[in-house]
Amino acid sequence: MKFFSLSALCLLVGVSIICANPQDKDGGAKITKNEAEHIALKQHPGARVTAAKLETVQKVKVWSIEITEGEQRQTVLVNAMSGRIVPPPADHR
């Protein structure tokens, strides 16, 4: 019985370590969606997030955060690895 309990505990700990790997969350991004939204809103006080998705722009993973300020709609790109706001490329909508 002790062997079974110890085995179950080891299995549980091993699974939680694997699942808690920060490199695997949000498609390999170090910055979570929630963190990216907060970064975008810090640059635009009073705005609100209407959409957020992880995408690759010019071979760089970014969070594309759509925000609205009054009637204006804008997209803010946040580097998914560093958390820095990056300027959108000319062809990004």
Q: What is the pLDDT of residue 89?
A: 79
Tally of domains within the chain = 1
Here the CATH number for the domain that contains residue 58 is: 3.10.450.40
Domain coverage including residue 74: 28-88
The reply to whether 8 falls in a domain is no
pLDDT: which is higher, 4 or 22 = 4
* Residue 19, domain member (yes or no): no
Give the DSSP letter string of the chain.
Answer: -HHHHHHHHHHHHHHHHHHT-TTTGGGG-SS-HHHHHHHHHHHSTT-EEEEEEEEEETTEEEEEEEEEETTEEEEEEEETTT--EEPPPTT--
Residue 5 lies in a domain: no
- Is 47 among the domain residues? yes
In a domain, 17, yes or no: no
pLDDT of 41:
96
| Structure-model confidence comparison of residues 92 and 63, the more confident one | 63
Q: Tell me whether residue 62 is in a domain.
A: yes
The pLDDT confidence band at residue 74, using thresholds 50, 70 and 90, is very high
Question: Is 18 part of a structural domain of the chain?
Answer: no
The answer to whether the CB of 54 falls within 8 A of the CB of 36 is no
- Output the pTM of the full model: 0.68
